[in-house]
Amino acid sequence: MTQPRRPEDIVATAGLDPALMADDESVNEPVRRPTHDDKVDHQLLYKYHRDGDLHAREQLITLYLPLVRSLARRYSYRGEQLEDLVQVGCIGLIKAIDRFDIERGVELTTYATPNIIGEIKRHFRDKGWAVRVPRGLQELNVRLSKLIEELTVRLERSPTIAELAKAADATDEEVLEALETGQAYSSVSLSSGPGGDDDGDLDPLESFGVEEAQYAITEDRAVLAPGFAALDDRERFILHLRFFEGLTQSQIASRVGISQMHVSRLIRRSLQKIKAEIGSPD
């Protein structure tokens, strides 16, 4: 009858530090011995996945940052900041560390690399475009970029839409649409000049529209509304004739059918009511 393997035998086979297994008595499967360069990685992975050691996870992330930066640098020419791509690549690295199966016998580098690259590509596909573009058009746009270079070299001229459509196995309309969507990858500030240069003397936004004079009037009306609400109909009518139609007190008196002195008193009293209602100190 086969004797069960002891934890210390498994540790020795895996090449792990016995201190990592001091409190673990549940191991019953052998672990593939990593290469000498991966020994530390394997120990950290074991500590994280077996013991839940988050510090070991942080150490792995730090150790593999140079790999993330190296892979991100391959895509830095596409208009994204390198540091932004490194951040995205780190997400792929963390996912690889969390999903890594230590029993499968593969190196973390081998498993992490496609995860990092996939995360970076997914970033360009889903978030790198200024305007959301269907994935099919994005992929066709990338293929057309390569085809344009190849056909330009081969034909010694710029290829036509029909030639691009034939090479891409697409219709003329799909090629035109994909080429147009390429302009949606990056946006230009409204403050840019006609050539997309922010250093222009004239900001296009400064030439749009005119100053609306009614804004100030609207604000004044909002302030005065409670004061006018405190007046009776005759008082409001007299103020309207005086300040909106520009009639003199004599003309108002003649129109309303009262004396000029009475008109003067009504105007003065109405203004006092308004000031008292809106809290004006004047």
Residues 49 and 122 in one domain: yes
Across 130-153, average pLDDT: 77
The whole-angstrom separation of Cα 71 and Cα 218 is: 59
The lowest-confidence range among 27-36, 132-141, 186-195 is 27-36
pLDDT tens string 162-191: 898 898 888 888 888 888 776 655 555 555
Quick check: 23 pLDDT over 60?
Answer: no
Three-state secondary structure call for residue 160? coil
Domain membership of residue 148 (yes or no) is yes
Quick check: 237 pLDDT over 60?
Answer: yes
Cβ neighbourhood burial of 173 (10 Å; 0-12, 13-18, 19+): exposed
Across 83-112, average pLDDT: 88
- pLDDT for 193 equals 54
Q: What is the DSSP string of 226-247?
A: HHHHTS-HHHHHHHIIIIIS--
- pLDDT for 108 equals 86
- pLDDT for 28 equals 36
Query: What confidence category does residue 13 fall into, taking pLDDT thresholds of 50, 70 and 90?
Result: very low
Task: CATH number of the domain at 147, please.
Answer: 1.10.10.10
pLDDT tens string 45-60: 888 888 888 888 899 9
Highest-pLDDT range among 15-29, 77-91, 235-249? 235-249
pLDDT tens string 84-97: 889 999 999 999 99
Task: CATH number of the domain at 37, please.
Answer: 1.10.1740.10
Identify the domain containing residue 256 by its residue range: 214-278
Q: Please report where in the chains the tokens 């034939």 appear, as a residue.
A: 166
The percent of residues in the chain predicted with pLDDT above 70, rounded, is 69
> Residue 85 in contact with residue 123, Cβ under 8 Å?
yes
- pLDDT for 12 equals 42
- pLDDT for 183 equals 63
pLDDT tens string 251-281: 999 988 899 999 999 999 988 888 888 875 4
Quick check: 39 pLDDT over 70?
Answer: yes
Residues 114 and 143 in one domain: no
The overall average pLDDT reported for the chain is 75
Q: What amino acid is encoded at 258 in this protein?
A: I
Domain boundary among 108, 126, 144: 126
Domain membership of residue 180 (yes or no) is yes
Domain membership of residue 199 (yes or no) is no
- pLDDT for 93 equals 93
Number of domains, the chain = 3
Quick check: 136 pLDDT over 70?
Answer: yes
